Amino acid sequence: MASENAIHRAVLAAIPRLRAFAIALTGNVEHADDLVQSALMCGLETSTSSSPARTCRRGSSSSCGTTTTSS
């Protein structure tokens, strides 16, 4: 579990920088917080997924989706 603890600490340490970047992107604190939350949720879902081919998609019903898209 040591590697999971290290990852947990690294993610927590990155949140302020992610939030600052999201604020710069959106220009809105509330939207930035939503963006960071979505990114962290997607990262968590992806890290616990049994399929490494999953990636985050904007606008999907869940915060993550598959890499394949229909055109």
Per the listing, tokens 């509330």 go with 30
Residue 43: closest CA among 3, 5, 69, 7: 7
- Answer whether residue 63 is part of any domain: no
* Arithmetic mean of pLDDT, 15-29: 97
pLDDT value at 2 more than 70: no
Contact indicator for 15, 8 with CB cutoff of 8 Å: no
**Three-state DSSP state, 64:** strand
- This prediction has a pTM of 0.67
- Answer whether residue 21 is part of any domain: yes
- Answer whether residue 41 is part of any domain: yes
- Answer whether residue 23 is part of any domain: yes
Q: Please state, in angstroms and rounded to a whole number, the distance separating the CA atoms of residues 52 and 48.
A: 9
pLDDT value at 58 more than 80: no
- Answer whether residue 68 is part of any domain: no
Give me the domain span that covers residue 8. 2-49
Domain total of the chain: 1
